[in-house]
Amino acid sequence: MARFCAYLGSRPGNHPAFRQAAITLGTAIARRGHTLVYGGARIGLMGELANAALDAGGEVIGVMPDHLVEREQAHFGLTELIRVRDMHERKATMAANADAFMALPGGIGTLEELFEIWTWSYLGLHDKPLGVLNVEDFYTPLLTFLDATAGHGFLNAATRKMLLDADAPTTLLDALEGRLQG
């Protein structure tokens, strides 16, 4: 089975669909026998995703820098909580422990992680699929911008196609599983 790394908010957001999508995704990851890898927090969407996967009997690996363990309220009920020195080590550890990547709604940290892992793929540093969960059209403005970026010649079509998107958790999971098998 695969390890799915999720980037998402440590805040809940202001739409109940965000929480429900995190719960649905965490449950689906666990029920399909996969492992969840994420930032290790017990709050916000991060906590909802992890708790759903754990409640469904799944394995959950959290990765959190020492300086954020207390600040982000680390989840100590995980299968494994990996404590690292800093954010750079966090991202590298999450990437090393993942077979695929997904971004749910979140803030600047989520976007930074998504773009870094996508850039690593573009540069040939990994060949792992990635996608965004476009709940309530959260990522629609970004996807429109990326299409415009490609249209203006700053992003080639093949690179743009690397980033999958779906509006339902199981649809995104299906697409990522398909890329892993393909």
What mean pLDDT comes out for the span 74-101?
97
Q: What is the pTM of this model?
A: 0.96
Q: Residue 182: what pLDDT? A: 78
Residue 82 has pLDDT above 80, yes or no: yes
Q: Residue 153: what pLDDT? A: 97
Q: Residue 32: what pLDDT? A: 98
Query: How would you write the chain as a 3-class SS string?
Result: CCEEEEECCCCCCCCHHHHHHHHHHHHHHHHCCCEEEECCECCHHHHHHHHHHHHCCCEEEEEEEHHHHCCCCECCCCCEEEEECCHHHHHHHHHHCCCEEEECCCCHHHHHHHHHHHHHHHCCCCCCCEEEECHHHCCHHHHHHHHHHHHCCCCCHHHHHHEEEECCHHHHHHHHHHHHHC
Residue 70 has pLDDT above 80, yes or no: no
